[in-house]
């Protein structure tokens, strides 16, 4: 597994081994395939469509979440779009905890779709075809890490009527949307404490969970590989997260993704920003 500090160097050294641009809709570099997809079949002036960069990894290989954990590097997407088109930030589905003893990484195995909303300019003329391009860089890992890059393209017609869903991609986008983090419900209450050993988080929620896990937004705040304590009393549950040895000063907030497991096994992710009191 490649330590985080060496990932940029690996990208630089490996950049020449993978084509920088693939004119087809799908690029097929080592250990994964990447393609650019659309949830809709056409573009309507002044409206928006949802695009997705779709990664399919070989068995045993993985890529990384926006915070990769103890090693690795998250994929990046740079859009090359016609004038007037704008994209929103990428949306990242719930990641997995990827144990690579003694490390713990956060990422995706199998396949993942990173989505972005594309806003279409009002002045676009129906009848033309628009070419969309994304330059994608990634690090894919198993026992070793391999950097890769590709240019993926998509051509969509412009129509004056509302665009229909693409039957070939609709299920994938629908499944991905269910895995996107939600805003924490307004009636939930969260509080936290930071001491020299651990973060202690408390949540008051609307129904009793079966379990929970936490993915930090920022590196070097918690010990990623340490067990995460969880215990509940009805609709209140508590978590203990070991403090990272790299966290040398107090912080006012702990930001990240809280994944709550329900009694029937379903998982829901919430973006949280837990306020912290400090004890010594």
Query: How many other β-carbons are positioned within 10 Å of the β-carbon of residue 174?
Result: 11
Per CATH, domain 182-278 is 2.60.120: no
Alpha-carbon distance 72 to 89, whole Å? 21
Q: Which CATH architecture has domain 4-178?
A: Sandwich (2.60)
Classify residue 134 by burial, with Cβ atoms within 10 Å: 0-12, 13-18, 19+: buried
Report pLDDT for 29: 59
Residue 203 structure tokens: 């949540």
Q: Is 49 left (phi over 0), alpha (psi -120 to 50) or beta?
A: beta
Enumerate residue ranges in the chain where pLDDT < 70.
1-29
The answer to whether 4-178 and 182-278 have equal CATH topology is yes
Residue 10 region by backbone torsions, left for phi larger than 0, else alpha for psi between -120 and 50, else beta:
alpha
pTM for this prediction: 0.88
**Would you list the DSSP string of 191-259?**
EEEE-SSEEEEEEE-SS--SEEEEEESSSSSB-TTSPPEEEEETTEEEEEEEBPTT--S--SEEEEEEE
**110-165 pLDDT tens trace:** 999 999 999 999 999 999 999 999 999 999 999 899 999 999 999 999 999 999 99
Q: What is the pLDDT of residues 62-86, one digit of tens each?
A: 999 999 999 999 999 999 999 999 9
Domain ranges of the chain: 4-178, 182-278
């Amino acid at each position: 597994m490649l330590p985080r500090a060496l990932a940029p160097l690996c990208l630089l050294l490996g950049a020449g081994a993978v084509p920088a641009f693939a004119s087809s809709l799908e690029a097929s570099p080592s250990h994964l395939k990447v393609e650019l997809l659309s949830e809709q079949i056409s573009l309507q002036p002044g409206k928006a469509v949802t695009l997705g960069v779709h990664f399919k990894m070989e068995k045993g290989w993985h890529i990384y979440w926006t915070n990769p954990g103890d090693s690795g590097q998250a994929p990046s997407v740079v859009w090359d779009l016609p004038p007037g088109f704008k994209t929103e930030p990428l949306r990242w589905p719930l990641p997995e905890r990827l144990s690579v003893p003694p490390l713990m990484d956060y990422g995706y195995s199998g396949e993942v779709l990173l989505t972005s909303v594309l806003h279409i300019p009002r002045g676009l003329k129906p009848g033309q075809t628009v070419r969309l391009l994304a330059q994608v860089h990634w690090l894919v890992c198993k026992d070793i890490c391999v950097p890769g890059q590709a240019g993926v393209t998509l051509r969509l017609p412009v129509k004056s009527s509302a665009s229909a869903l693409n039957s070939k991609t609709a299920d994938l986008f629908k499944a991905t949307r269910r895995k996107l983090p939600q805003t924490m419900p307004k009636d939930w209450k969260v509080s936290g404490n930071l001491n020299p050993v651990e973060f202690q988080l408390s949540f008051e929620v609307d129904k009793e969970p079966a379990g929970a896990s936490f993915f930090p937004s920022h590196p070097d705040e918690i010990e990623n590989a340490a067990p995460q304590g969880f215990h509940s009393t009805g609709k209140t549950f508590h978590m203990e997260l070991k403090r990272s040895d790299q966290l040398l000063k107090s912080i006012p907030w702990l930001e990240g993704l809280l994944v709550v497991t329900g009694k029937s096994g379903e998982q829901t992710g919430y973006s949280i920003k837990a306020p912290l009191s400090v004890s010594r």
